[in-house]
Amino acid sequence: MSTPRVFIIRHGETEWSLNGRHTGTSELPLTANGEKRIRATGKALVGDDRLIVPSKIAHIYVSPRRRAQRTLELLDLGCHERLGENDGNIEHGKGDLINKMKVQITEDIREWDYGDYEGKTSPQIREERKAKGLNENWDIWRDGCPGGE
């Protein structure tokens, strides 16, 4: 019996991640480069002789954001055919190996809600806070986001 493992994979590059804008609830597509890099990551990490063996995957949790779902599709784990019409169970088959992997699209792992800071860079947020008389040394974990988390 093999040891259970957990893999956490972040979505590929978007225009906003390129220029440092905070992206949470906005639906942004992956850039062409983002798609290319995720495909390369899949080729390097996914396969019967690789770190991630699709036939051994029991469960996948994915954000409802389209960029996260597209990232999952591009990794080529064998679940992209039915992701859009997901009923929670995806049959994965490679040769004689068939594994029933559960793919769950869930808000529980969705991206952070940046509220009023959505689409802004950290320097813009600090400047805005300074103008309002708030601590300009903004820290998301300490200060949160107005209108968000």
* Annotated catalytic residue 128: no
Query: Could you write out the DSSP letters of every residue in 47-93?
Result: STTSSB-GGG--EEEE-SSHHHHHHHHHHT-S-TTSGGG--SEEEEE
d(CA 54, CA 32): 25
Q: Which one of the listed residues 35, 80, 111, 128 is annotated catalytic?
A: 111
Q: Which one of the listed residues 11, 13, 92, 118 is annotated catalytic?
A: 11
Q: Which residues contact 37 (CB under 8 A, 6 or more apart)?
A: 12, 13
Residues forming beta bridges with residue 14, ordered by sequence position:
30
* Annotated catalytic residue 11: yes
Residues tagged active-site? 11, 111
